Structure 1
Amino acid sequence: MRIHSRVIGGALVATLLTQLTACGTLFYPDRRGQIEGKVDPVIVALDAIGILFYVIPGLIAFGVDFATGAIYYPGGTTAQVDPAKLKPAVNADGSIDNSKLQAILESELGQRLPLNDPRLIQHRGSVEQLASYGLIPAA
């Protein structure tokens, strides 16, 4: 009988400890440190399940996830490339050579972007847009 109660006690302690550490903090430790963003519904559901079974540890799990920021989706990242480094990708008639642009972006950003993907939507710029970035059209 003593072993049976130890197994149940050990399972209860393990369950409570996992709820105290919070689901988002366990599953996505790289998300910690965020202040705001869009809330991840999977983490909210897992924390809510914790409230169903153990009210206090479930509330603590919510509190820990919100306090650490692990409950939020990761924010979008941005990258910038100096416009002067993009000039070799522009042809004399003003059109863009996708292979040269892809090579430049890969060397500058360290990521391979699929510029030949048929789903890629290309927007045409205007002289006003270039002027807003401080660039002079030279086509």
Structure 2
Amino acid sequence: MRMHTRIIGGVLAASLLTQLTACGTLFFPDRRGQIEGRIDPVIAALDAVGILFYVIPGLIAFGIDFATGAIYLPGGTSAQVDPQALQNLVDADGQIDNAKLKVLIEQSTGHSLPLDDPRLIRHSGSIEQLAAYGLRPAA
């Protein structure tokens, strides 16, 4: 019986320790320092489990994750492309040259996209969509 209570006590101490150090800070230390963003549902659920079992440590875990920013998903990156450079991609028929587009994206972002993939689905925009962004159709 003595060994049984030691095992239960050890498991309880280990789980309290992990809850006090906060799940997001423990699992994703590279996310610390973020100010805002979308909340990671996995980290929020793990912190919520801490509230279910141990109210105070679970609240502390939420507080630490929000304070350090570890609860937020990593921020997305975006790149801007000069509209004049995009004009050079359109041929006389108004079609976009995929090879030139791929080179432009690779130069602007540093990532190579598989624009020649047969599974690629191309969507055409409409005049209404352009107007929503304050743009005029010109080809």
* Structure 1 length-normalised TM: 0.69
- Return structure 1 stretches of 4+ with deviation > 6 angstroms: 4-10
Q: Distance in 1 between matches of 2:125 and 2:116?
A: 17
Matched, 1:27 2:27: yes
> SS in structure 2 opposite 1:78?
coil
**1:124 aligned partner, one-letter code:** G
RMSD (Å) for aligned C-alpha atoms: 3.6
Task: Report the alpha carbon displacement of residue 87 of structure 1 after superposing the two structures with TM.
Answer: 3.7
Partner of residue 43, structure 1: 43
Gaps of 5+ in 1: none
Q: Distance in 1 between matches of 2:116 and 2:125?
A: 17
Q: Residues 30-58 of structure 1: CA distance to partner in whole angstroms, max 9, x if unpaired?
A: 33333444332221221122233333222
Classify 1:56/1:114 alpha carbon distance in 2 versus 1 (closer, same or farther; 3 Å): same
Identity of aligned residues (%): 63
Task: Report the alpha carbon displacement of residue 11 of structure 1 after superposing the two structures with TM.
Answer: 5.8
* Structure 2 length-normalised TM: 0.69
Q: How does 1:104-119 map to 2 (within 5 A)?
A: 104-117=104-117, 118-119=119-120
Q: Distance in 1 between matches of 2:134 and 2:49?
A: 51
Moved more, 37-46 or 96-105: 37-46
Classify 1:123/1:33 alpha carbon distance in 2 versus 1 (closer, same or farther; 3 Å): farther
Partner of residue 78, structure 2: 78
Moved more, 97-106 or 116-125: 116-125
Gaps of 5+ in 2: none
**1:17 aligned partner, one-letter code:** L
> SS in structure 2 opposite 1:89?
coil
Partner of residue 52, structure 2: 52
